[in-house]
A = this chain, B = another copy of it.
Amino acid sequence: MFDTQPSPLGDRRVTLEHLRAFVLLAEGMGFQQAGLQLYRSQSAVTQSLKRLEEILDCKLLERRQGHIMGLTEDGERFLPAAKEILIRTSEALSAMKQPEISGRLLVGVPDDFKVADLHGAISRCAELNRKLRLEVISALSSQLLYQIENSGLDLIILKCLENFVPSDNRWKMHSLRREPLYWVAAQQYGFDSMTEVPLVIFPDGCCYRNAALTALDKAGKNAYGAYVSASYENIRAAVSAGLGIGVLPASALAEDHIILGDEEGFPELPMVELVMIQATHKYATKQLAEFLSRSAFTRHTMASIGRGEIA
């Protein structure tokens, strides 16, 4: 029917370096900057991508103008796979650099934070350490802290405001990501004559909500929950639909959201952090924490792929 055995299964000409160049470029870096990340010249990156496109026999980048204007359809299709391969490679290699993790660990993760690939990272960690048994509990960030004692969690990941101080000083805390929190609205939304601010916001207990309410309070503004949901998707959709003003971290903004600031009369919001807390002092807890902090899910971009130590 179709040839199976003598298949071109895996075109051996493609290298991981090709993929690195592509991913960096796909994330909006120019050829020059990508070259910097990879410790290569701009020309090397150009040629590398050209070669990759040759091998795949399709264009990956749309470069109408003097510089890249996004991905082609093929590029869009190839990007997730390329990233996945690079992530798996880098995780596999760094996993080999520390002793195998073993034991049973309870991990708490937020069910409301748009964490790029936290679940992926956890499952890859389990794949790479077969003697490790991971049990994951998902809950609202605000509840995870209480669960440490109740459920005996070893490691939790939660979102919080910057300068968050853990209630137990035996816990080791580590910030994975830090980003600004914004007031956002749909582009077409009119907010001139507002007496009360209609908020599109997470339920009680959410730290974004607290930060927003506190800030509005200080600024002497009134607000009400025009739309409340624990789901990021719902919140973003509600903001896009113009149901009110949202409070979202930079990574969760939708295309059509615009940021409201001083000019519109909105007070500044604090930075938010995704932090990891080691609640127990098992060696495995520490190892898992190291794996996750090295893992790509903490990064917004793959910029770090170029920082490999070179002989």
Residues of A within 8 A of B (CB): 1-2, 4-17, 20, 55-58, 74, 77-78, 80-82, 84-86, 88-97, 100, 127-128, 130, 172, 174, 176, 289-290, 293-294, 296, 298, 304-311
Contacts and interface: CB of A to CB of B under 8 A. Distances in A.
Given A9-B307, A127-B80, A174-B1, A93 B16 contact: no
B74 A9 contact: no
Q: Chain A interface secondary structure, helix, strand, loop or mixed? A: helix
A14 B81 contact: no
A91 to B, nearest CB: 8
A304 B57 contact: no
A9 B85 contact: no
Nearest to A177: B4
Nearest to A305: B10
A9 B94 contact: yes
Contacts of A127: 80-81, 84
Given A16-B16, A77-B100, A307-B6, A11 B293 contact: no
A304 B1 contact: no
